[in-house]
Chains A and B, each alone.
Chain A
């Protein structure tokens, strides 16, 4: 083992930071899209439309049963085919992540919505509110308290999962680190620093999730 040289990180810093920016971008887009789509899926699943509800359940359980890597491959292959033209790796990955995350966020929403007592729905209906008004004004604001820590935890998982775009060589932080590691033959230093970066970011996320859930735990 030759001496460690962390100078490699310094020299590659702009390149690595660009990768990190893409990781954050992917996380943000996947979370935003996943939350919106996931809420819709959860509402459909809990609705009275039997057929739609079964379809939504199939979507959620299907995506939750297969590896994200396979999903990434699927869309990398499928999106250009479906659109009839070539698309960038980034575009296919964004679609894959949004659809994949929607399945997980929908489960968080479903649990959150179910945690609200039926009496709340009935009270709102009794006041003359409609279904979507009740959802928006009465149920969601209450459910959000229970859900926010879980949503942050899921975001931490998502941030780690963005590293999987490595399999289609999209230059997120993970891929950039591996490029630097192999180009400069500095695997130890680069991977250790990359681990530290992920560890610090995810620990902050995890800590804020547990602080939130502790603060909101019913006394």
Chain B
């Protein structure tokens, strides 16, 4: 292997700055997409467990749409196709006046793509709560919305917290796809460093380490959260 190492490239300007701004965009896109995914996914997950058939079918359609089309293509659809299909005034605004359209598109596309996964998790969490709990809530005069908010969802979220960790991790990894519509997030920046300096090994190593650290931090955060909301019986504190 014929390769001239130069690790110092990573801390030289402008490359260090490129890495930092790439990391910033990766974090901004991933975290906002995750928040959107949690909100939309919870809503769709709840709708998927309602007793009526039509809302359940709608939720299943939503999940199927977002799960069965590659994220890359979804990004292109939001970026290139949707503005053309909207009423022309909106389309013009999106294309001309909206600042950073590629950033907003990445957040939206990644958020909705992930929301389908969250919806499946939340739905299965709600189903895992015994039907007696729903009945007990309804029997005490709660409205369906109250039963979900006060009784079913708090339990469902505890059940699905461990599997949600992997979806949260996946958001960070998937945010790399934003580079295909011109967002210079972490992976794009390292790729750029490689093509400027030909020090691909160092650049990709830097990105790999950053993603590993993000994964460790996310896992640590979710474990801490799990412990914080764990009920006493699962912590061995039962009398």
Question: What's the nearest-Cβ distance from chain B to residue A105, in Å?
Answer: 15
Q: Which of chain B's residues have a CB closer than 8 A to the CB of A199?
A: 64-65, 68-69
Q: A1's contact among B67, B84, B169, B173, by CB below 8 Å, is which?
A: B84
CB nearest neighbor in B for A107: B166
Beyond A69-B177, A70-B211, whether A194 also contacts B84 by CB under 8 A is no
Q: A81's contact among B1, B65, B68, by CB below 8 Å, is which?
A: B1
Q: A195 near B80 (CB under 8 angstroms)? A: no
Q: B212 near A62 (CB under 8 angstroms)? A: yes
Is A127 interfacial (CB 8 A cutoff)?
no
Q: B179 near A69 (CB under 8 angstroms)? A: yes
Is B238 interfacial (CB 8 A cutoff)?
no
Question: What's the nearest-Cβ distance from chain A to residue B38, in Å?
Answer: 21
Is B194 interfacial (CB 8 A cutoff)?
yes
Question: What's the nearest-Cβ distance from chain A to residue B103, in Å?
Answer: 18
Is B37 interfacial (CB 8 A cutoff)?
no
Q: A67 near B212 (CB under 8 angstroms)? A: no
The 8 A CB mask of A156-183 against B (1 = contact, 0 = none) is 1000110110110000001001100100
Question: What's the nearest-Cβ distance from chain B to residue A101, in Å?
Answer: 14
Q: B76 near A191 (CB under 8 angstroms)? A: yes
Q: Bin the interface of chain A by size.
A: 35 or more
Q: B173 near A68 (CB under 8 angstroms)? A: yes
Q: Which of chain A's residues have a CB closer than 8 A to the CB of B215?
A: 61, 64-65
Q: A194 near B200 (CB under 8 angstroms)? A: no
Q: Which residues between 17 and 41 of chain A lie within 8 Å of chain B, taking CB atoms?
A: none
Is A59 interfacial (CB 8 A cutoff)?
no
CB nearest neighbor in A for B68: A202
Q: Which residues between 173 and 190 of chain B lie within 8 Å of chain A, taking CB atoms?
A: 173-177, 179-180, 187, 190
Is A198 interfacial (CB 8 A cutoff)?
yes
Q: Which of chain A's residues have a CB closer than 8 A to the CB of B76?
A: 178, 187, 191
A-B contact count (CB 8 A): 118
Question: What's the nearest-Cβ distance from chain A to residue B33, in Å?
Answer: 14
Question: What's the nearest-Cβ distance from chain B to residue A82, in Å?
Answer: 6
Is B81 interfacial (CB 8 A cutoff)?
yes
Q: B73 near A174 (CB under 8 angstroms)? A: yes
Q: 10 new A-B pairs (CB below 8 Å) besides A66-B211, A203-B68?
A: A64-B169, A65-B173, A68-B176, A69-B179, A74-B208, A81-B2, A163-B70, A191-B80, A192-B77, A192-B81
Is A111 interfacial (CB 8 A cutoff)?
no
Is A6 interfacial (CB 8 A cutoff)?
no
Is A125 interfacial (CB 8 A cutoff)?
no
Q: A206 near B64 (CB under 8 angstroms)? A: yes
A126 to B1, CA, bound (A): 51
Question: What's the nearest-Cβ distance from chain B to residue A81, in Å?
Answer: 6
Q: Which of chain B's residues have a CB closer than 8 A to the CB of A191?
A: 73, 76-77, 80-81
Q: A174's contact among B64, B70, B84, B179, by CB below 8 Å, is which?
A: B70
Q: Which of chain B's residues have a CB closer than 8 A to the CB of A82?
A: 1
Q: A195 near B88 (CB under 8 angstroms)? A: no
Is A188 interfacial (CB 8 A cutoff)?
yes
Is A216 interfacial (CB 8 A cutoff)?
no
Q: A164 near B207 (CB under 8 angstroms)? A: no
Interface centre among A64, A65, A74, A156 (most CB of B within 10 A): A65
Question: What's the nearest-Cβ distance from chain A to residue B220, in Å?
Answer: 13
Is B100 interfacial (CB 8 A cutoff)?
no
Is B229 interfacial (CB 8 A cutoff)?
no
CB nearest neighbor in A for B86: A1
Sample 17 A-B pairs with CB under 8 A, ordered by A number. Answer: A1-B88, A62-B212, A65-B173, A68-B173, A73-B194, A74-B208, A81-B201, A160-B69, A178-B76, A187-B76, A187-B84, A191-B73, A192-B77, A199-B64, A199-B68, A202-B67, A206-B67
Question: What's the nearest-Cβ distance from chain B to residue A17, in Å?
Answer: 17
Q: Which of chain A's residues have a CB closer than 8 A to the CB of B3?
A: 81
Is A118 interfacial (CB 8 A cutoff)?
no
Q: Which 5 A-B pairs have the closest CB atoms?
A: A65-B215, A202-B68, A67-B176, A160-B70, A67-B173
Q: Which of chain B's residues have a CB closer than 8 A to the CB of A202?
A: 67-69
CB nearest neighbor in A for B80: A187
Is B235 interfacial (CB 8 A cutoff)?
no
Question: What's the nearest-Cβ distance from chain A to residue B82, in Å?
Answer: 9
